[in-house]
Amino acid sequence: MSDTLAADLFAPTSIGAIDVTNRIVMAPLTRSRAGMDGVHGPLAVDYYRQRASAGLIVTEATNISQQGRGYAYTPGIYTDAHAEAWREVTDAVHESGGKIVLQLWHVGRVSHFSLQEGGAPPVAPSAIRAGGRVYTLAGDDVPSMPRALEADEIPGLVEDYRNAAHLAKKAGFDGVEVHAANGYLLDQFLRDSTNRRTDLYGGSVGNRARFPIEVVKAVAEIWGADRVGVRISPLSTAIGETPLDSDPQATYGYFVQQLGGLGLAYLHAVEGQLREANAASALDFKALHAAFGGAYIANNGYDRQLAMDAIASGHADMISFGRAFIGNPDLVERLRRNAPLFEAPLTAYYGGGAEGYTDFPTLAD
């Protein structure tokens, strides 16, 4: 019999340079409640403060440039006004004892000309149109036809990420998470289904991973690698109807192995299809975790028992919960007590004001 204590979902740990009070992460959640200038107001401050008992909050995906925007009312991190608004959020979370990292986002082809500067077409590794829907000021619409990025534009994009990382530091975050998931720009480069380039940024997996790795390195120069995480979702096709890579195990295996060499804070993996129930998957995520070699945050339909088991078995270092955090600001306390969870209605998810955003009660209420 072993006297080793199994790791506990509710016990403190550290992830990279970030000390956390428990192993529960609030996953990034688009809530579409910023201004069209990407600036957050006081509602977002309340929203994040209410959820500060999470061991770690990953903010909603945040545009690194106007070109990176794919949906109306999503926040930005490319002007001083953005950083000042986020500073209110980070102060509130820290005052409440929480930790918070900002998710750096560029949607690539999953956008609409009406959201772009001067009505320009969205950019992508290759000129292949996304499916699905995007949200504009005039309602939802199909994504616009993108144009393929010129190779000499890539350094400017890396600089956009670097600038966003710098502003995130000014805003007082504990770190940043690079969004390389869900068929957005960096994932469009990684997947051979969306990247048909024939230059240094396409073709072999080494070439397809080149730009995402350049981005992570630039961001790590600003923050120190131990305050930078990366999110991947090798199996998600939900956004932009993005087809899978032809060999996700090899592609993401190579990518995370390269990231592992950088000494990052963590790898955050969506272990299946976005928004679906936890299920045995076709991909070996334990092999990805091993190839990365650092801390691992698991996501995708985990419930209390699955989360406790995944932490106890060493499958993951932390577990992130998305939708459960919408309707349960005190999710950590509810999981601790095995209390019932409130299921927020879908209509609350995107857009609007306080209703369905900051008006969900805690057990104590």
| Site for ligand PHB, rule CB under 6 A | 30, 61, 71, 181-182, 239
Euclidean distance between CA atoms 78 and 284, whole angstroms? 36
Q: Is 73 a catalytic residue?
A: no
Distance CA 128, CA 309 (A): 41
For the CB of residue 19, give the shortest distance to ligand PHB in the complex, in Å.
Answer: 26
Cβ atoms within 10 Å, residue 346: 10
Question: What is the rounded distance in angstroms from the CA atom of residue 293 to the CA atom of residue 297?
Answer: 12
| Nearest Cα to Cα of residue 71 among 126, 26, 124, 108 | 108
Q: Given the complex with ligand PHB, which of 231 and 304 has the nearer CB atom?
A: 231
Nearest approach in angstroms of CB 130 to ligand PHB is 13
| Cβ proximity to ligand PHB, 71 vs 226, nearer residue | 71
The partner residues of 141 in beta bridges, in order of sequence, read 134
* Residue 118: CB minimum distance to ligand PHB, A: 24
Q: Which of 57, 11, 7, 66 is nearest to 37 (CA)?
A: 66
Distance in Å, CB of 106 to ligand PHB, minimum? 11
Residue pair 301/276 in contact (Cβ under 8 Å)? The answer is: yes
Task: Tell me how far apart the 2 most distant CA atoms of the chain are, in Å.
Answer: 67
- Of 126, 131, 57, 60, nearest in space to 94 by CA: 57
Minimum CB distance to ligand PHB smaller for 240 or for 294: 240
- Of 61 and 130, the one with the shorter C-beta distance to ligand PHB is 61
Please report which helix (H) or strand (E) contains residue 290, including its range: helix 285-292
- Three-state SS at 96: coil
Shortest Cβ distance from residue 184 to ligand PHB (Å)?
Answer: 6
Closer residue to ligand PHB in complex, CB, 70/146: 70
Catalytic residue among 161, 184, 266, 357: 184
Q: Are 76 and 69 in contact (CB under 8 A)?
A: yes
**Residue whose beta carbon is closest to ligand PHB:** 30
The set of catalytic residues is 184
